[in-house]
Amino acid sequence: MHASPNVGRTGKQTQHRVTSGETALNLKTMFNNVGKVWTPDTFRDYLTTIPLTALRWFRGVCFHHTWFPSLSDRPNGFKANHIANMRDFYRTKDWRSGPHLYADDDQLWGMSELQERGVHAVGFNAGYVGIEVLGNFDVESPYAGRGNACWTTAMLGALCLLDRAAIPLSPMSIMFHREDPSTTKTCPGQLVKKEWVLQQMQTLDLPLRDTPTPARDLKMVSAICRANQVPCNLNVVGGQIKLNGVVLYTAVYDRLAEATFADLKEIEHAISHIK
| pLDDT recorded at residue 212 | 47
**Span 188-205, mean pLDDT?**
96
Q: What is the CATH number of domain 24-203?
A: 3.40.80.10
pLDDT tens track for 117-163? 999 999 999 999 999 999 999 999 999 999 999 999 999 999 999 99
- pLDDT-derived band at 86, boundaries 50, 70, 90: very high
Which sequence spans correspond to the domains of the chain?
24-203, 215-272
DSSP, res 116: S
Q: How far apart are CA 147 and CA 185, in angstroms?
A: 20
Whether residue 159 contacts residue 171, with contact meaning beta carbons closer than 8 Å, is answered with no
* Greatest extent of the chain over all pairs of C-alpha atoms, in Å: 61
| pLDDT recorded at residue 69 | 97
pLDDT tens track for 60-77? 999 999 999 999 999 999
**pTM given for the model:** 0.70
Q: What is the DSSP string of 21-34?
A: T--HHHHHTTTTTT
| pLDDT recorded at residue 94 | 87
Phi-psi region of 239 (alpha: psi -120 to 50; beta: other; left: phi over 0): left
Q: Would you say residue 218 has pLDDT above 80?
A: no
Angle value at C-alpha 265, between 39 and 129, nearest 5 degrees: 20
- Give the DSSP H or E segment for 153: helix 145-164
Q: How far apart are CA 100 and CA 38, in angstroms?
A: 13
Nearest to 257 by CA among 206, 217, 204: 217
Buried-exposed string 82-116: b where 16+ CB fall within 10 A, e elsewhere: bbbebbebbbeeebbbbbbbbbbbebbbbbbbbbe
Q: How far apart are CA 252 and CA 243, in angstroms?
A: 14
Q: How far apart are CA 259 and CA 211, in angstroms?
A: 23
Give how far Cα 218 sits from Cα of 230, 245, 253, Å: 15, 15, 10
Q: How far apart are CA 22 and CA 123, in angstroms?
A: 24
Q: Would you say residue 248 has pLDDT above 90?
A: no
| pLDDT recorded at residue 8 | 31
How many residues can be counted in the chain?
A: 275
Q: What is the mean pLDDT of the chain?
A: 84
Whether residue 260 contacts residue 220, with contact meaning beta carbons closer than 8 Å, is answered with no
DSSP, res 209: P
Least confident of 4-8, 62-66, 176-180, 182-186: 4-8
